[in-house]
Amino acid sequence: MMPLPTSADLVPLLPELLLCGAALGLLLADLFIDERRRGLIHFLALLSLLLTALLVARGMGGEPVSAFGGMFIRDTLADVLKIAMCGVTALVLLYARRYLEERGLLVGEFYAIVLFALLGMMVMVSAGNLVTLYLGLELLALSSYGLVAMDRDNKVASEAGMKYFVLGAMASALLLYGMSMIYGATGSLDLAAIHQAAASSDDRTLLLFGVVFVLVGVAFKFGAAPFHMWVPDVYQGAPTAITLFIGSVPKIAAFGFAYRLLESGLGPTSEYWSQMVAWLAVLSLVIGNLLALAQTNLKRMLAYSTIAHVGFLFMALSNPQAAGYSAAMFYAISYAIMATAAFGAIILMSRRGFEADQIADYKGLWQRSPFHAFLIMIVMASLAGVPPTLGFFAKLSAIGAAVDGGREWLAVLGVVMAVVGAFYYLRVIKVMFFDAPERDDMVAHADGTLRFVFAANAIALLVLGLGAQMILGWAEASFL
């Protein structure tokens, strides 16, 4: 029986407790704050993220600490991921405010649900037990379903929310079934105990049976092929501000989830699951890039490109060593920043009654708004992996991890698919710079804050590219 919790158990959870209190507080505050003062809710949400990140940063660099009998773990890996998630979530809120306000969707519930989703992700990356992992995952999943279907009057968004819910429930069931098999094989829900039992077990048949189902659940949460069927429909159907959130921050959490489950729990079986991860990388790279070539809707193109990027992340994760994990972590954080900028570009060019989600909408943007066309070019170049952007160093680290893990064939495929993927990103650049404009009103949004945030986000892809070694160093420090 697990001992009763003490006050010492609550200290490692202070950031999570603050975030949970803030989410509940925003729900209550929304009842009493006039709609004309909605900006106060926005400010309080950003302040909550800042305070949470500061609490996490305050405890960084110390020895790993566990709470509640090892169910919750706070270490350098969790702290780095949490700070990254808080930062990207703050970017999401800055992008989303004007977009949702113009469409009548800026309600207090939006901020509360986003914070609850972030709370689920923070629990996931600090999990030391299968129960804690599943609890965090479901909190994130249920929050995401609600966000996607938030625009109840939009049939496309409601359909996307229903698809996401049904397929997500199926993936959760498969994941839970795999966890039950692992429990049956090891007799424990604790990840450290599972690791020890897997290392000493002679017959791993039941354990590996569970690993297969667990990997299916992990692949679905990442949006990896062939479990990607929800990604394009949800990305296209959800309001762009919501797509911005679900397409960026959860990728960081998904890496933490995969690491805790596959390495902390199932590390001794890495010779088996690493091969499966490698083939998931192959399918994601090929299917994601080839299907993205055929898209004319920019959100749908970015959805398929997300699948391809997950392929690169899995390429690094297929190397079950510190070099592979640090490269995968670096890629997850880098992609979250790039995805935020990519969907932020759509929000920047959108306005009430015009979503700017077709590639053809960007024709001749260079003539109408040259500065913002240049910034979007930087974003597309980073996604394509053009040096010296952040995306180039992320891809380089993933390919290097594959080579270091003895999978040169996967690294070669990654290089080939990176070249294929560059085509559809360059097509967006070509449309902006070389096609004649078709719309007279195709200019950036007039909101100064939105313009500033996007400019900072896009330029950061260049600056962080030049300082990529520093970010990679933080990732490597998490696995020392």
Question: pLDDT for 95-145, tens place per residue?
Answer: 998 888 888 877 778 999 999 999 999 999 999 999 999 999 999 999 999
379 within domain boundaries: yes
pLDDT tier at 2 (50, 70, 90 boundaries)? low
Please give the pLDDT value at position 140: 93
Task: Report whether pLDDT(93) > 80.
Answer: yes
Please give the pLDDT value at position 340: 95
396 within domain boundaries: yes
Q: Which of 63-67, 179-183, 281-285, 309-313 has the lowest mean pLDDT?
A: 63-67
Top-confidence residue, 9 or 238 = 238
Q: For residue range 230-274, list pLDDT tens digits in order.
A: 899 999 989 999 999 999 999 999 999 999 998 888 888 888 899
1 within domain boundaries: no
CA nearest to 95, candidates 252, 239, 244, 236: 244
Please give the pLDDT value at position 183: 93
Q: For residue range 134-173, list pLDDT tens digits in order.
A: 999 999 999 999 999 888 888 888 888 898 999 888 889 9
311 within domain boundaries: yes
pLDDT tier at 346 (50, 70, 90 boundaries)? very high
Please give the pLDDT value at position 375: 94
Residues 6+ apart with CB under 8 A from 35: none
pLDDT tier at 441 (50, 70, 90 boundaries)? low
4 within domain boundaries: no
Query: Domain count of the chain?
Result: 1
For the chain, the average pLDDT equals 89
Domain hosting 294: range is 11-477
Task: Report whether pLDDT(179) > 70.
Answer: yes
3 within domain boundaries: no
